[in-house]
Chains A and B, each alone.
Chain A
């Protein structure tokens, strides 16, 4: 029988917490959500020895147990609730050797919850270079727990840590701080009210407005003659508590920790001088963005083309080798083309997250936050909005979730509202295919013209996000106290395994989460295009054959005419035709109309929809792009000419076409008001911008 231990991994941001999690669990991890909220829940398991395994929970990074955001409250809620399924048997507090003092604050708080708490000091590989010496034995004695020196970079100390996990029962549950030393009278009275409860937990209930067990804030308020509801007194005591904790930590570190200042290298100041320079900083940031978008465009085009033709080949060979019929059609035209529409995204998503995670891992992202804060504040945003806006180029869903660390509600709400304007990866296939059709493949000052257009689309997305947030900041009347605190971590060489796991994780969640929607829409579409109401659809063969011209057609043309007639009278054809009067001023026909309808579920199905529509209408299997190129308007001109192409690009740039984003916004703002506002206003903007551009260009 294998013994399973619940382990909670807790630590400040930028201490290598996720690296340790990756070291312990490898790819044995899964990412889910905490029930009811969209905070990522990362769990994994790790085998300790033959008899023991550890179930490890990677909790969101936090500086303190006292919460200032939803992410941080996860940590506290878990640690306060012994009945929680994930309640840890033992906690690992991971700290950065160079920032031990501040990291230990969290350690003392967690230990005071009477939890066996192991202190893992990370980045021990930097100790010699930084001239740091630590007396581990003394630390263990003073904090009355196990202390392990580890390096997630060099993979040292991990076995020691595993051993300490096995022996967690031997760890003391003693506390670091006696609250009575802060205010004897106050805490004595509090204890008298609930003699059987931990004083620190009672104190947290008072300060953090959190329930635990039977006790909640109201109960303490009612049964107490103390003026504990006076915020001023509470804040005063919290302040004293923090000072006291730092005193304890300082006293211990004075004896157990030394640093030789002369050995400190100044990589930080040398890099900072350039990277946050008031002029060069912006230039460098802009160059980094150009580099990212050029490489996404250039590198992913090869695998995407192979994926595209591979799926065309599979679809065709199914048609040839299976007996003809409904099932074969469903397989080749519905399912296979749907799966192809998912797989084709993988190269771009991988490259984008490769870059984003490198920027985060190196510490450069925080510098960008610092650099951009003032400029973004003019538009009603925060420097921290830069991360959602950049992640929005991958997908608006994680981006909206990434707004959580923006402390000011107004800035956060505006960021949530404008993030869907940034060019998400679901728009990319639409852009790529239309750009390939309407923009010539030429060099322009050494840059690929198509690549530049794509970058222009990204800039347009970013610019519309800024302009709309400026308007929103003037219109929205919300008054919230604002503050902005950003840590600027040390520069680090990114850890390859972390970058790798992030990329795998994001691709996986895309394929399984978004993929589900794409595949089911693809199959539904196939159904809507393969069936139709009424006599016209049912008798398509006879009706087309009775056409006086039919005798002169070859059998191939006849087939095509029948297919096209059927599609026109299928369910989806009827839907597309119904909206034609509205969209023809934008330069679209009813087939594009169908794609627009399905895109309101998710943009990425645009290309798949057209592929389904055209492959239903044509027998010879061409790749999607060629099919679109051969599509003609009623007057014989190409359907996807310059004015229609640009109009479509603009429509997709502005329209809110993503059910999942709306659902996340509903969750994060806790109201349907804001997602509906987004849906209506963005669609109206998209319609009129496309209308104006088409009418001007054609």
Chain B
């Protein structure tokens, strides 16, 4: 089990759980829910923020937020 910010570009995973207090409702409503697929697509300069494909949505979040989300790496 690792956190979302540790994904490398192109790696995929499945969301396991997250720290509910630190995850804004908005992100949950955009599809950040346990069981949903997530893929890291690109990193901005200095590897932050991260460009993700979350479920069917393309979003960018900062690393500190991503570090609150635990995922199962898909190999």
CA of A407 to CA of B27, assembled, Å: 13
| A-B contacts besides A370-B60, A484-B49, 7 pairs, CB < 8 Å | A68-B26, A102-B29, A102-B31, A236-B20, A246-B31, A371-B45, A383-B49
A486 touches B59 (CB 8 A): yes
Among B1-52, those with CB < 8 Å from A are 20-21, 24-31, 33, 41-42, 44-46, 48-49, 51
From the candidates B20, B26, B28, B56, name the one contacting A99 in the complex (CB within 8 A): B56
Least CB separation from B43: chain A residue:
A278
CA of A485 to CA of B62, assembled, Å: 8
CA of A383 to CA of B62, assembled, Å: 10
Describe A's contact surface by its main secondary structure: helix
From the candidates A64, A102, A370, A373, name the one contacting B57 in the complex (CB within 8 A): A102
Q: Does A272 contact B (CB under 8 A)?
A: yes
Least CB separation from B46: chain A residue:
A374
CA of A101 to CA of B30, assembled, Å: 10
Least CB separation from A64: chain B residue:
B29
Interface residues on chain A, size class: 35 or more
A374 touches B26 (CB 8 A): no
Interface residue tally for chain B (C-beta within 8 Å): 29
Q: Does A63 contact B (CB under 8 A)?
A: yes
Least CB separation from A72: chain B residue:
B26
A242 touches B29 (CB 8 A): yes
A68 touches B25 (CB 8 A): yes
CA of A272 to CA of B41, assembled, Å: 10
Describe B's contact surface by its main secondary structure: mixed
Q: What residues of chain A have their CB less than 8 Å away from a CB belonging to chain B?
A: 63-64, 66, 68, 98-99, 101-102, 105, 232, 235-236, 238-239, 242-243, 246, 268-269, 272, 276, 278, 369-371, 373-375, 383, 407, 482-489
| Residues on the A chain within 8 Å of B49, using CB | 370, 373-374, 383, 484, 486
A488 touches B29 (CB 8 A): no
| Residues on the B chain within 8 Å of A383, using CB | 49
CA of A375 to CA of B44, assembled, Å: 10
| Residues on the B chain within 8 Å of A63, using CB | 26, 29-30
Q: How far is the CB of A562 from chain B (nearest CB, A)?
A: 65
Q: A483-B24, A484-B49 are in contact. Are A272 and B42 (CB under 8 A)?
A: yes
A235 touches B21 (CB 8 A): yes
Least CB separation from A490: chain B residue:
B58
| Residues on the A chain within 8 Å of B59, using CB | 485-488
A488 touches B48 (CB 8 A): no
| Residues on the B chain within 8 Å of A407, using CB | 24
A276 touches B42 (CB 8 A): yes
CA of A370 to CA of B62, assembled, Å: 10
